[in-house]
Structure 1
Amino acid sequence: MPDPSPRSDSRDSAELAQFGYAQSLERRTGRFASFAVAFAFVSIATGIFTTYGAVLNSSGPVGIWTWPIAVVGQLAVAFVLGALASRIPVTGYHYQWMSRLANPILGWIIGWISFTFLAIVVVAVDYTIASTILPVLLDYESTATIAWVMTAAVLVIQALLVAFSTPWAERVNNSLVTLELVGMALLTVLLLVVAAVRGDMDFSNLFSKGAVPAEGFWSFGDWTSAGPWMLGFLLGAFTIVGFESAANLAEETHDPERVVPRAMCNAVLASGVLGFVFLIAVTLAAGDPVALAESGTPIADVINTTLGSVVATLLLLMVVLAIFACGLVIMITGVRLTWAMSRDERFPGWQQWSQISPRFHTPFKATLLYLALAQLILAIFAHSETALFTLFSAATLLPAVMYASTVVLYLVKRTSLPVNGKFDLGKWEIPILVVAVVWLAFELALFRDAAFKQAWAYVLVMVAIGAAYLGYLLIRRGRAGLTMPAMASIDAELRE
């Protein structure tokens, strides 16, 4: 465990001061809590439950074999981001990295894109509870209004935890992550054992295309569409994201240069291994994959058929709690990013959102802003299923854009980055970078599919809004007015 002694906190505060900031948040986050933040954002229970049915329809059961490839790609990305997080252990993650290693204007743009992602994904994730899972769990017919009200309530509960107590928010998240880890492992073992004993395992499902036509299945597609097998990668691309959220609590973490990068990589590795074994277990016990693809809750149906209604109910309850933890961590991350950009006086209304509550020791006002924005997005999109699909699509697209830009930044700056001895890629740097670049280029190619047209439109609208505010900042302050605090110190370090 990292040493949470006053001496350790003093050392962390002194290292933070090198980046031009005074310690204003409490350092309470340890190793497991940092891992839990990264793992909760990834949330394999949430991602697999939400997207497994879509993969059955787009790629068939054989689409699950894209998962390990996505895991390897995202793990390479996690190593690269971990190397940056270790060298710049400051709240604001992509925004800070890009601002300090490229320039503040590009940093502001990537910060705005990150904020846009976090603002929409919390709504998309929480809405899943109200629209998809609770109606099945509680056996009632959902309406758009009911889903809206319940999602709004979930957002309020999460905001209360984030606003009033970071320690309690972490305790809740730690408990729910532990439950998800244990629950998913037990569920996987039960599925494999019971299906084997009953003789219900169908190994042909692992290589079945389901109802997807065999002709053209392995095609890369054309300029406006991706081939069926390529669309299977969306399962991993949607699920294995957000692991770098641990870096957004860097100023609240003990020894963040060492703890945060390992938390990120371990979260991806744990999610990848456990998620893939679970996918294999579900697919083996799936029965008729064509019929299963027609279900709105295929995972729950397989559990119900194989293990019974009681276990299926427990699964749904676990998924609800996992999604709640995922939304909670997304809100924590979004609030920290808002606060970090406001602290540098480059977020609309920064005078209010840069404040830390002296009573609760949290970015209280930034939390209220984030909650209000999330409720606004929910109100706009709650009555349109198409719009909610757009939210999910954008929530998959935006991380790929963020990761690609940050990895390219690392690629450009890698020879001048100092070695800190706490998390360095060493001789593996080039192979890891090759894997990360190839994977991200392939992932971005997926989003040329026409299904993401509205998601691209949403992204462009949000970028236009951000560009307008950036223009205002440049006109009012000039380029020099966007310089990062203590920029000279890190520039000097990079020149050594």
Structure 2
Amino acid sequence: MTATETFDPPSADGDARRVQELGYEQELKRGMGIFDSVAMGFATISPVVGLYAVVLVGMVVAGGAWLWVLPVALAGQCLLLSVYSELAGKWPLANGAYQWTRRLIGPRYGWFTGWVALCAYAVANTTIAYLGAPWALTLLGITPTAHAIVITGALLVLLCSLVNAVGVDALKLALRMGVAAEAIASVGIGLALLLVFREQGFGTLFDTFGAESLSGGSTFAALLAALAVAGWAFIGFDSTVAAAEETKGAAKHVPRAVWMALLSVGALVILNAFATTLAHPDPAAVVAGKDIDPVSTAVVSSFGDWSSKPFAAIVLLAFIACGMAAQGGTARGIYSVARDGVLPFSGFLRKVDARQAPIGGIVATTLVAWLGLLLGLEATAIGSLITFGTAAIYCAFLLVAVAALAGRYQGVLSRSKARIVLNVLAVAWLAFETVNVAWPRTSLAPVGAPWYQVWAAPMVVTLITLAGLAYLAVAKPAKAV
């Protein structure tokens, strides 16, 4: 599409007309309000899941001082959001990474960006289920062996898929309940730890506890590693874009929802990271590898042993809500690309059922997540998958930001000085953080990890890049657009 495309303000039929102007029919149910759109992004980023993804590794590589990189990572992602929100308002379609970039640069670039993004989303679904499974097993009193985690993770994937398959009304109801419970618990626990149960002085926030030894004795290198870890916590907001074709007044509400989701989760992650560190009885033990669950340690030591089960239930609820939103976003992303006939089995992948749910994408998302979980039988394999996922999503973010900058040069997007500066800064941040996240570090790998786990991110990113380029050359999917 070109800069001459018309734009209708939101109205009763404006959303459907806008989708039609962009070359598609309104097939998904337009049943979400702005809060539901925020909930999609909030649940996918998830303050609880995000905190658990980063706090242990962050403390191990940089001690208490790691916390100061969280605001830096959030600010960097806000630069990206200044671009994302503009694109979401101009082209309110599912799978913005694909839809926006093909309109800004061309079908080949758009297909490749969509390919990278879908690979990253697929990995995220496996990661969420794998990391959430031990909490379910804890509540059931079952020892979390590798086989038990894989089976439980598969059941969590199935649960999330069934909710998505019932339709958008069931999804938004489940997300409302999950997000409300998670937000209340995050605020309550975080403030209690910070104001009532603080054990450490504020000097802890500037103490590395010798963690820099993992980075060759360099505090700067340790903080760079911590910044890579912090980047894990602030992704997933693009699920709001994935649900754009089901959001009422999408051109107006989705750009706002993206900001609301990221900033609210970002504030809660930072609050709880500081609270957990200051309430922990022995942060040095985390750095030394003697405590592999610092969040639970801080909570249980503060509130008492009785809190372990309720806390596990809250964490599991957060993982389930995160899984539902992430799988829903992936399914809609697959649907958005497949309806252009540019994926293998596009006819099936673009199917929408009687409930107006993207059932083809849901089935594919479920099967791919199950296949990924099989890697959980080998710790180094699942570790490599988790490392790759974050690097790939930053690659997709970078490709989007570069396309937006090209769009400004062409006059398709705003050429105001402020927009150009923000876009340039977004490209610079994403280029830096993509390399930083993918950089092979022994400090971010388990002790004694094989070389291929240390190099997992750059190796797998290279592999999917070559696979995508090969498919472009052989199948020529761009010609179908």
What TM-score, normalized to structure 1? Answer: 0.87
CA distance in 2, matches of 1:86, 1:427: 19
What secondary structure is seen at the aligned counterpart in 1 of 2:143?
A: coil
Per-residue deviation, residues 302-325 of structure 1 (Å, max 9, x unmatched): 111112123343222111111111
CA distance in 1, matches of 2:17, 2:161: 31
CA distance in 2, matches of 1:213, 1:232: 11
Farther off after superposition, 465-474 or 333-342? 465-474
2:304 to 294, 302, 308: 308
What secondary structure is seen at the aligned counterpart in 1 of 2:248?
A: coil
Query: Which structure 2 segments of 5+ residues have no match?
Result: 1-9, 443-453
Whether 2:17 is the aligned partner of 1:50: answer no
Aligned 1:461-472 pairs, distance under 5 A: 461-472=463-474
1:332 Cα deviation after fit: 0.7
1:38 to 30, 37, 41: 41
Whether 2:268 is the aligned partner of 1:277: answer no
2:427 to 413, 419, 437: 437
Aligned 1:473-488 pairs, distance under 5 A: 473-474=475-476, 481-483=479-481
CA distance in 1, matches of 2:316, 2:228: 22
Letter paired with 1:299: V
CA distance in 1, matches of 2:383, 2:161: 24
CA distance in 2, matches of 1:389, 1:9: 47
Per-residue deviation, residues 324-364 of structure 1 (Å, max 9, x unmatched): 1111111111111111111000010011111211x221111
1:89 Cα deviation after fit: 0.8
Whether 2:62 is the aligned partner of 1:67: answer no
2:252 to 258, 271, 274: 258
Partner of 2:344: 348
Aligned 1:62-461 pairs, distance under 5 A: 62-131=65-134, 133-196=135-198, 200-213=199-212, 218=218, 227-293=221-287, 294-357=290-353, 359-379=354-374, 381-417=375-411, 428-446=418-436, 447-451=438-442, 452-461=454-463
CA distance in 2, matches of 1:363, 1:352: 10
Aligned length: 457
CA contact (8 A) 1:164 1:364 kept: no
Partner of 1:17: 20
What secondary structure is seen at the aligned counterpart in 1 of 2:344?
A: coil
CA contact (8 A) 1:129 1:320 kept: yes
Letter paired with 2:89: S
1:219 Cα deviation after fit: 5.6
CA contact (8 A) 2:439 2:457 kept: no
Sort the Cα spacing of 1:373 and 1:311 in 2 relative to 1 into closer, same or farther, 3 A: same
What secondary structure is seen at the aligned counterpart in 1 of 2:356?
A: coil
CA contact (8 A) 2:36 2:172 kept: yes
Sort the Cα spacing of 1:244 and 1:363 in 2 relative to 1 into closer, same or farther, 3 A: same
Query: Which structure 1 segments of 5+ residues have no match?
Result: 1-6, 221-226, 484-496
Q: CA RMSD in A?
A: 2.1
CA distance in 2, matches of 1:402, 1:244: 11
CA distance in 1, matches of 2:416, 2:247: 25
Per-residue deviation, residues 220-268 of structure 1 (Å, max 9, x unmatched): 5xxxxxx111111133210100111111111111111111111111111
What secondary structure is seen at the aligned counterpart in 2 of 1:195?
A: coil
CA contact (8 A) 1:78 1:243 kept: no
What secondary structure is seen at the aligned counterpart in 1 of 2:11?
A: helix
What secondary structure is seen at the aligned counterpart in 2 of 1:119?
A: helix
What TM-score, normalized to structure 2? Answer: 0.90
Letter paired with 2:182: E
Letter paired with 1:192: L
CA contact (8 A) 1:161 1:169 kept: yes
CA distance in 1, matches of 2:141, 2:422: 47
CA contact (8 A) 2:331 2:361 kept: yes
What secondary structure is seen at the aligned counterpart in 2 of 1:355?
A: coil
Letter paired with 2:255: P
